[in-house]
Structure 1
Amino acid sequence: MAISMDKVMGIQQYTLGVRSQRAETIANNIANADTPGFKAKGLNFQQALQQAQRGMDGFHLARTHERHFAVDIKPQGEEMYRIPTQPDTGDGNTVDVQLEQNLYMQNALEYQMTMGFLDGRIGAVKKALGSGS
Protein backbone atom coordinates (compact mmCIF):
# COMPACT_ATOMS: atom_id res chain seq x y z
CA MET A 1 0.00 0.00 0.00
CA ALA A 2 1.43 3.36 -1.05
CA ILE A 3 1.56 6.21 1.43
CA SER A 4 0.50 9.60 0.14
CA MET A 5 2.72 12.27 1.68
CA ASP A 6 0.07 14.89 0.87
CA LYS A 7 -2.36 13.01 3.08
CA VAL A 8 0.20 12.49 5.83
CA MET A 9 1.42 16.08 5.90
CA GLY A 10 -1.84 17.80 5.06
CA ILE A 11 -1.89 21.56 4.81
CA GLN A 12 1.02 21.87 7.24
CA GLN A 13 3.63 21.21 4.54
CA TYR A 14 2.45 24.33 2.72
CA THR A 15 2.06 26.34 5.92
CA LEU A 16 5.72 25.77 6.76
CA GLY A 17 6.93 27.24 3.47
CA VAL A 18 4.67 30.28 3.74
CA ARG A 19 5.78 30.92 7.34
CA SER A 20 9.38 30.75 6.17
CA GLN A 21 8.72 33.30 3.44
CA ARG A 22 6.89 35.50 5.93
CA ALA A 23 9.91 35.39 8.26
CA GLU A 24 12.15 36.55 5.42
CA THR A 25 9.83 39.48 4.66
CA ILE A 26 9.69 40.58 8.30
CA ALA A 27 13.47 40.16 8.73
CA ASN A 28 14.00 42.32 5.65
CA ASN A 29 11.81 45.02 7.20
CA ILE A 30 13.82 44.93 10.44
CA ALA A 31 17.12 45.02 8.56
CA ASN A 32 15.99 48.15 6.70
CA ALA A 33 14.59 49.99 9.72
CA ASP A 34 17.18 52.75 9.32
CA THR A 35 17.11 52.95 5.52
CA PRO A 36 15.64 56.28 4.42
CA GLY A 37 12.60 55.85 2.19
CA PHE A 38 12.20 52.12 2.89
CA LYS A 39 8.57 51.00 3.00
CA ALA A 40 7.69 48.08 5.28
CA LYS A 41 6.04 45.13 3.55
CA GLY A 42 3.82 42.32 4.70
CA LEU A 43 2.71 39.00 3.25
CA ASN A 44 -0.93 38.04 2.82
CA PHE A 45 -0.73 34.68 4.61
CA GLN A 46 -4.09 33.31 3.42
CA GLN A 47 -3.40 34.20 -0.21
CA ALA A 48 0.09 32.71 -0.05
CA LEU A 49 -1.23 29.51 1.51
CA GLN A 50 -3.90 29.14 -1.17
CA GLN A 51 -1.30 29.62 -3.90
CA ALA A 52 0.99 27.06 -2.29
CA GLN A 53 -1.83 24.52 -2.07
CA ARG A 54 -2.76 25.01 -5.71
CA GLY A 55 0.88 24.67 -6.72
CA MET A 56 0.86 27.83 -8.78
CA ASP A 57 3.78 27.98 -11.17
CA GLY A 58 6.50 30.46 -10.47
CA PHE A 59 9.19 30.86 -13.07
CA HIS A 60 11.98 28.69 -14.36
CA LEU A 61 15.62 29.81 -14.48
CA ALA A 62 17.44 28.97 -17.67
CA ARG A 63 20.38 26.57 -17.42
CA THR A 64 23.43 28.02 -19.16
CA HIS A 65 25.62 24.98 -18.55
CA GLU A 66 24.77 21.29 -18.45
CA ARG A 67 26.23 20.94 -14.93
CA HIS A 68 23.98 23.66 -13.49
CA PHE A 69 21.05 22.65 -11.33
CA ALA A 70 17.56 23.19 -12.70
CA VAL A 71 15.83 25.68 -10.40
CA ASP A 72 12.17 26.51 -10.21
CA ILE A 73 11.29 29.46 -8.02
CA LYS A 74 7.73 29.50 -6.81
CA PRO A 75 6.89 32.75 -5.07
CA GLN A 76 3.97 32.37 -2.71
CA GLY A 77 1.64 35.24 -2.01
CA GLU A 78 2.08 38.85 -2.78
CA GLU A 79 4.10 41.22 -0.67
CA MET A 80 2.15 44.36 0.04
CA TYR A 81 3.19 47.59 1.71
CA ARG A 82 2.09 47.91 5.33
CA ILE A 83 -0.06 50.81 6.41
CA PRO A 84 2.20 52.85 8.70
CA THR A 85 1.31 52.71 12.41
CA GLN A 86 3.47 55.65 13.40
CA PRO A 87 3.89 59.19 12.11
CA ASP A 88 6.53 59.86 9.48
CA THR A 89 9.87 60.71 11.09
CA GLY A 90 10.91 62.74 8.08
CA ASP A 91 13.00 60.16 6.27
CA GLY A 92 10.10 58.32 4.59
CA ASN A 93 10.80 55.01 6.36
CA THR A 94 7.62 53.21 7.49
CA VAL A 95 9.17 50.39 9.54
CA ASP A 96 7.88 50.13 13.12
CA VAL A 97 10.64 48.02 14.67
CA GLN A 98 8.59 46.98 17.72
CA LEU A 99 5.70 45.84 15.52
CA GLU A 100 8.05 43.92 13.23
CA GLN A 101 9.78 42.23 16.17
CA ASN A 102 6.42 41.18 17.59
CA LEU A 103 5.31 39.85 14.20
CA TYR A 104 8.60 37.99 13.82
CA MET A 105 8.24 36.37 17.25
CA GLN A 106 4.63 35.37 16.55
CA ASN A 107 5.64 33.90 13.20
CA ALA A 108 8.54 32.02 14.83
CA LEU A 109 6.18 30.49 17.39
CA GLU A 110 3.74 29.48 14.67
CA TYR A 111 6.62 28.00 12.66
CA GLN A 112 7.71 25.93 15.66
CA MET A 113 4.13 24.82 16.25
CA THR A 114 3.87 23.68 12.63
CA MET A 115 7.18 21.81 12.93
CA GLY A 116 5.92 20.09 16.08
CA PHE A 117 2.73 19.05 14.31
CA LEU A 118 4.66 17.65 11.34
CA ASP A 119 7.07 15.86 13.68
CA GLY A 120 4.09 14.21 15.37
CA ARG A 121 2.61 13.13 12.06
CA ILE A 122 5.90 11.69 10.83
CA GLY A 123 6.40 9.93 14.17
CA ALA A 124 2.95 8.36 13.88
CA VAL A 125 3.71 7.10 10.35
CA LYS A 126 7.07 5.70 11.48
CA LYS A 127 5.39 3.96 14.40
CA ALA A 128 2.70 2.51 12.13
CA LEU A 129 5.29 1.26 9.67
CA GLY A 130 7.43 -0.22 12.42
CA SER A 131 4.56 -2.06 14.09
CA GLY A 132 3.33 -3.48 10.80
CA SER A 133 6.47 -5.56 10.15
Structure 2
Amino acid sequence: MNLFGGTISSLENGLSYATLNQKTIANNIANVDTPNYKAKNVNFKNMLEEEKQSSISAYRTDNRHYDFSITQSTPGVSDIDNLRYRNNGNAVDMDEQQAKMAENQIYYNALIDRVNGKLNTLNTVIKGGR
Protein backbone atom coordinates (compact mmCIF):
# COMPACT_ATOMS: atom_id res chain seq x y z
CA MET A 1 0.00 0.00 0.00
CA ASN A 2 1.38 3.35 -1.01
CA LEU A 3 0.57 5.83 1.75
CA PHE A 4 1.12 8.97 -0.29
CA GLY A 5 -0.19 7.81 -3.65
CA GLY A 6 1.70 9.06 -6.65
CA THR A 7 1.43 12.75 -5.81
CA ILE A 8 4.53 13.07 -3.63
CA SER A 9 6.52 10.98 -6.11
CA SER A 10 5.37 13.13 -9.03
CA LEU A 11 6.22 16.30 -7.13
CA GLU A 12 9.64 14.84 -6.32
CA ASN A 13 10.26 14.15 -10.00
CA GLY A 14 9.21 17.70 -10.84
CA LEU A 15 11.62 19.06 -8.24
CA SER A 16 14.42 16.91 -9.68
CA TYR A 17 13.71 18.36 -13.12
CA ALA A 18 13.65 21.93 -11.79
CA THR A 19 16.93 21.35 -9.94
CA LEU A 20 18.67 19.96 -13.03
CA ASN A 21 17.26 22.83 -15.11
CA GLN A 22 18.53 25.39 -12.58
CA LYS A 23 22.02 23.83 -12.58
CA THR A 24 22.08 23.83 -16.38
CA ILE A 25 21.01 27.48 -16.60
CA ALA A 26 23.52 28.50 -13.93
CA ASN A 27 26.25 26.66 -15.85
CA ASN A 28 25.28 28.54 -19.02
CA ILE A 29 25.43 31.88 -17.21
CA ALA A 30 28.78 31.00 -15.62
CA ASN A 31 30.22 30.30 -19.08
CA VAL A 32 28.86 33.41 -20.78
CA ASP A 33 32.39 34.61 -21.62
CA THR A 34 33.97 31.20 -22.31
CA PRO A 35 35.10 31.00 -25.94
CA ASN A 36 33.36 28.32 -28.05
CA TYR A 37 30.97 27.36 -25.22
CA LYS A 38 27.64 26.04 -26.51
CA ALA A 39 24.58 26.73 -24.33
CA LYS A 40 22.89 23.68 -22.83
CA ASN A 41 19.21 22.93 -22.35
CA VAL A 42 17.19 20.33 -20.42
CA ASN A 43 15.01 18.42 -22.91
CA PHE A 44 12.34 17.06 -20.58
CA LYS A 45 9.46 17.58 -23.02
CA ASN A 46 11.19 15.68 -25.82
CA MET A 47 11.90 12.73 -23.53
CA LEU A 48 8.24 12.61 -22.47
CA GLU A 49 7.18 12.46 -26.11
CA GLU A 50 9.60 9.58 -26.79
CA GLU A 51 8.42 7.64 -23.73
CA LYS A 52 4.71 8.18 -24.39
CA GLN A 53 4.22 4.77 -25.99
CA SER A 54 5.85 2.89 -23.10
CA SER A 55 4.29 4.83 -20.23
CA ILE A 56 1.08 4.31 -18.30
CA SER A 57 -1.87 6.47 -19.31
CA ALA A 58 -4.10 8.06 -16.71
CA TYR A 59 -7.74 7.03 -16.34
CA ARG A 60 -10.03 9.57 -18.03
CA THR A 61 -13.64 9.91 -16.92
CA ASP A 62 -14.58 12.17 -19.84
CA ASN A 63 -13.35 12.39 -23.43
CA ARG A 64 -12.79 16.13 -22.97
CA HIS A 65 -10.08 15.47 -20.36
CA TYR A 66 -6.50 15.68 -21.51
CA ASP A 67 -4.70 12.40 -21.98
CA PHE A 68 -1.35 12.43 -20.22
CA SER A 69 1.25 9.88 -19.31
CA ILE A 70 3.19 9.20 -16.15
CA THR A 71 6.86 8.44 -16.73
CA GLN A 72 9.82 8.06 -14.44
CA SER A 73 12.50 9.25 -16.89
CA THR A 74 15.35 11.51 -15.97
CA PRO A 75 15.62 14.54 -18.24
CA GLY A 76 18.72 14.85 -20.38
CA VAL A 77 20.92 17.82 -21.02
CA SER A 78 21.90 18.66 -24.58
CA ASP A 79 23.33 21.51 -26.61
CA ILE A 80 20.89 24.10 -27.93
CA ASP A 81 20.93 24.05 -31.73
CA ASN A 82 20.37 26.87 -34.21
CA LEU A 83 21.91 29.62 -32.08
CA ARG A 84 23.67 32.71 -33.26
CA TYR A 85 27.22 32.81 -32.03
CA ARG A 86 29.22 35.78 -30.87
CA ASN A 87 32.64 36.52 -32.31
CA ASN A 88 34.37 34.21 -29.83
CA GLY A 89 32.08 31.27 -30.72
CA ASN A 90 30.06 31.50 -27.50
CA ALA A 91 26.34 30.72 -27.84
CA VAL A 92 24.93 31.97 -24.51
CA ASP A 93 22.22 34.64 -24.65
CA MET A 94 22.33 36.19 -21.18
CA ASP A 95 18.84 37.73 -21.38
CA GLU A 96 17.30 34.41 -22.40
CA GLN A 97 19.13 32.53 -19.65
CA GLN A 98 18.01 34.99 -16.98
CA ALA A 99 14.40 34.73 -18.18
CA LYS A 100 14.63 30.92 -18.08
CA MET A 101 16.07 31.09 -14.57
CA ALA A 102 13.21 33.29 -13.35
CA GLU A 103 10.63 30.98 -14.95
CA ASN A 104 12.27 27.92 -13.42
CA GLN A 105 12.35 29.57 -9.99
CA ILE A 106 8.60 30.21 -10.16
CA TYR A 107 8.01 26.59 -11.18
CA TYR A 108 10.23 25.31 -8.34
CA ASN A 109 8.49 27.51 -5.75
CA ALA A 110 5.07 26.30 -6.91
CA LEU A 111 6.16 22.69 -6.48
CA ILE A 112 7.56 23.39 -3.01
CA ASP A 113 4.28 25.06 -2.02
CA ARG A 114 2.36 21.99 -3.22
CA VAL A 115 4.66 19.61 -1.30
CA ASN A 116 4.18 21.74 1.83
CA GLY A 117 0.41 21.62 1.35
CA LYS A 118 0.45 17.83 1.05
CA LEU A 119 2.62 17.44 4.13
CA ASN A 120 0.45 19.87 6.13
CA THR A 121 -2.62 17.84 5.14
CA LEU A 122 -0.92 14.66 6.34
CA ASN A 123 0.09 16.41 9.57
CA THR A 124 -3.55 17.44 10.15
CA VAL A 125 -4.72 13.88 9.57
CA ILE A 126 -2.12 12.50 11.97
CA LYS A 127 -3.16 14.98 14.65
CA GLY A 128 -6.80 14.03 14.19
CA GLY A 129 -7.93 17.34 12.71
CA ARG A 130 -6.65 19.49 15.54
Q: Give the alignment's TM-score, normalised by structure 1.
A: 0.71
How far has the Cα of 1:78 moved from its partner?
A: 1.5
Structure 2 residue runs of 5 or longer lacking an equivalent are 52-69
In the alignment, structure 1 residue 97 sits paired with structure 2 residue 94: yes
Contact 1:32 1:38 in 2 (8 A): yes
- The 1-side partners of 2:116 and 2:24 are apart by 25
How far has the Cα of 1:84 moved from its partner?
A: 4.7
- The 2-side partners of 1:95 and 1:11 are apart by 31
Partner of residue 78, structure 1: 76
Q: Give the alignment's TM-score, normalised by structure 2.
A: 0.73
Partner of residue 39, structure 1: 38
- The 2-side partners of 1:117 and 1:104 are apart by 20
Partner of residue 120, structure 1: 117
Change over 3 Å in CA distance of 1:91–1:106 after alignment to 2 = same
Structure 1 residue runs of 5 or longer lacking an equivalent are 57-75
Cα RMSD between the aligned structures?
2.5
Partner of residue 5, structure 1: 4
Percent identity, aligned pairs only, is 24
Q: Deviations over 1:58-83 (max 9, x none)?
A: xxxxxxxxxxxxxxxxxx22211113
Q: Deviations over 1:84-118 (max 9, x none)?
A: 55x32211100000000000010011000000001
How far has the Cα of 1:6 moved from its partner?
A: 4.4
How far has the Cα of 1:9 moved from its partner?
A: 1.1
1:18 maps to amino acid: Y
- The 1-side partners of 2:79 and 2:97 are apart by 13
Contact 1:43 1:77 in 2 (8 A): yes
Equivalences, count: 110
| Segments ≥4 residues shifted beyond 3 Å | 5-8, 53-56
